[in-house]
Amino acid sequence: DTGVSQDPRHKITKRGQNVTFRCDPISEHNRLYWYRQTLGQGPEFLTYFQNEAQLEKSRLLSDRFSAERPKGSFSTLEIQRTEQGDSAMYLCASSSDRGSGNTIYFGEGSWLTVV
Amino acid sequence: QKEVEQDPGPLSVPEGAIVSLNCTYSNSAFQYFMWYRQYSRKGPELLMYTYSSGNKEDGRFTAQVDKSSKYISLFIRDSQPSDSATYLCAMNKAAGNKLTFGGGTRVLVKP
């Protein structure tokens, strides 16, 4: 079990550029979550997938943000036309609906800096 | 007002002391309660998970939930410098649902 894997770990981009983050969940975890965390704050929920279906989206997820999970495996989070306010750590998490179904594991995060 | 409130600290304690952390929440629908530890520039690591009211102990860690008061606590016994981190409480309404986090409490354990 290699844990939740995120790539890239760090990204510096110019305002207006598009960026994409990838998340590989723990093997056989059918639930996948994206969160955003800014310095000094707790993570904030962005969106949630069960298998390939996107079941919930936060109001924080503006139309510049899109998340996909093709085939219910890895997921991507794309931010279009980045703004300085998008600078944050983007966290991916996963869990399984087996057992207690509520043990949610996080990856190490992808840091985004928009300059 | 945020749904989950947590004192940001920093909370500074000498090595070997008991660290006492807590969160309050406003939504009575929360049923599941977690504590995560987060080191600087790392992802959150799950420490404790409890369902509904009661106590749970795991090694040096004890989690308490009082749903009637909407108050949860985490105690760390025999604290070590390696316990220096930010501690996040989190909760959800049903298994697998999105987590709602507190803002985190920064803890410093001094040798």
Q: Residue A52: how many CA atoms within 13 Å on its side-chain side?
A: 3
Nearest CA of chain A to the CA of B77: how many Å? 24
pLDDT at A99: 73
pLDDT at A1: 54
The predicted model gives B11-21 an average pLDDT of 98
Closest-CA residue of A relative to B34 is A103
**pLDDT, tens only, A80-96:** 999 999 999 999 999 99
What are the residues facing B4 on neighbouring strands? B25
Low-confidence stretches of chain A (pLDDT < 70) are 1, 100-101
**pLDDT, tens only, B50-96:** 988 889 999 999 999 999 999 999 999 999 999 999 999 999 998 88
Q: Exposed, middle or buried by CB within 10 Å (0-12, 13-18, 19+), for A105?
A: buried
Please tell me if residue B98 touches chain A, with a CB cutoff of 8 Å. yes
Q: What is the dihedral of CA A83, A85, A87, A89, to 10 degrees?
A: -130
Q: Exposed, middle or buried by CB within 10 Å (0-12, 13-18, 19+), for A49?
A: buried
Percent of chain B's residues with pLDDT above 90: 90
Q: Which of A104, A110, A77 is nearest to B33 (CA)?
A: A104
pLDDT at A87: 97
Please tell me if residue B34 touches chain A, with a CB cutoff of 8 Å. yes
CA A111 to each of CA A23, B19, B95: distance values in angstroms, whole numbers, following the listed order: 13, 30, 28
Tokens 């977690």 label which residue?
B34
pLDDT at B96: 85
CB B90 within 8 A of CB B99: yes
